[in-house]
Copies of this chain bind each other. A is one copy, B any other.
Amino acid sequence: MTGDKICSTVLKEIVPGEGEKKALLEFAEHIISRIDEAAKELGVDAHGLLVGSVAKGTWISGDLDLDIFIMLPETISEEEMESLGLQIAKRVATKYEERYAEHPYLKAFFGGYAVDLVPCFSVSNPASIKSAVDRTPFHNEYIKARINGLENEVRLLKQFMKGIGVYGAELRTMGFSGYLCELLVLKYGSFLNVLQSAKGWRRGVIIGIEDHKGHEHDAPLVVIDPVDPSRNVAAAVSLDKFCMFIDVSRTFLKTPDISFFFPPEVKPMTDDELVDELKQRGMDVFAIVFKAPDVVDDVLYPQLYKALKSIEELLHRNDFRVFHGDVWSNSNSVILLEMEIARLPPIKMHMGPPVESVTHAEKFKAKHANCHPYIRSGRYAVEIPRKYADVNALLKSELQTCSLGKHVSEAIENGYRVLKNAQIIKIDDEEFRVFLRKYFRKR
């Protein structure tokens, strides 16, 4: 099948039908009118505004998540904006969870719909925004004014990115946002043209949508926000997600296949498969397991990655070698460490001062008198017991000295386990087993 043929097949799956469209927009209008009413009742000069992919007409069929902003006057204080906005939202929603990004908002549930009700300042232009959410209505306007006719190209790009695992700007994924997909389609005119361009991208590439001059950004991909030229829309894209997109774009253009959009479902690894895999790889694998702290992914994942990095440094400082590490979280959080070297001899060499440094030499010899200091390459040296001869002992003693991030640190203080090799089958969570299969097969 050619690329074009595949695209039309994919579109059949992902373009919402008229019924879905109508129902979604009617529902959105209904919520907005309830926001407007609630504002009036509370005597607040506020109104609802549909933003996000539904507003822009670029959502993928079946994605029934709505973003509705509660626009409040820019003259009030941040605290007032937050509290009035939440008051209005709570009048509209009956079933909801309070969430927190830069500001608090509600994730509300109405039948099959999930609606993010987000208070923000209604500002006159993007230069006067007070927080990142205030920018969203301007992104919305920008796309709505230009996307006409390209909606399905955006849908293709989003579905492609979902399929290959680079979609989503959250800090768990560090990939491409919906807005970024829309801008790329505007810039290059079609889904396939975006891929053609991506084929030749190099890290540090700067893409301007309008004729704006960009600012300096230290990121693999820079896409200048037409609404705020000082901002890099692709700031969240990690080097590896950037590279994956380039790599898969090349492969797709050469050998297009529908499986890029709809990859086979990844089945959870069974106990037997896991034990087999560990045996074949012959490396000691450690899982540090603790109850996931009750914070959103965008707070949790940076802390988990930070913890992973800090633990890897601890291991290196103690002469162990990490082959690869990763993190995962659901109700439990897991820091996974696959070790090239997880055991060391009980003694190690400890080098002292050069023989010429008389004062240091005397101190060193006195300190290590019972270890028989000798001379090696002009310095004193002793063989001393190694503090930690295996990873388990090191983690048990020193894990909490690592920079783990506030919430992860607290969670670990409340208790953690270190599972080794086959013990990992104790983590009986389907999603973790999916993560493990991806870890071992597709990394």
Contacts and interface: CB of A to CB of B under 8 A. Distances in A.
A17 interface: no
A345 B281 CA distance: 7
A246 B347 contact: no
A247 B356 CA distance: 9
Interface string A278-294: 00111100000000000
A220 interface: yes
Interface in A326-374: 340-341, 344-349, 354-356, 358, 361, 372, 374
B374 A239 contact: no
Q: Which DSSP category, helix, strand, loop or mixed, fits chain A's interface? A: mixed
B378 A220 contact: yes
B243 A378 contact: yes
A324 B323 CA distance: 25
Interface in A223-278: 239-240, 242-244, 246-247, 250
A282 B346 contact: yes
Given A356-B203, A358-B250, A372-B441, A240 B378 contact: yes
Contacts of A242: 378
A442 interface: yes
Nearest to A205: B356
17 contacts: A202-B356, A240-B376, A242-B378, A243-B378, A246-B356, A247-B355, A247-B375, A250-B358, A280-B346, A281-B345, A281-B347, A282-B347, A323-B345, A324-B349, A340-B344, A374-B442, A374-B443
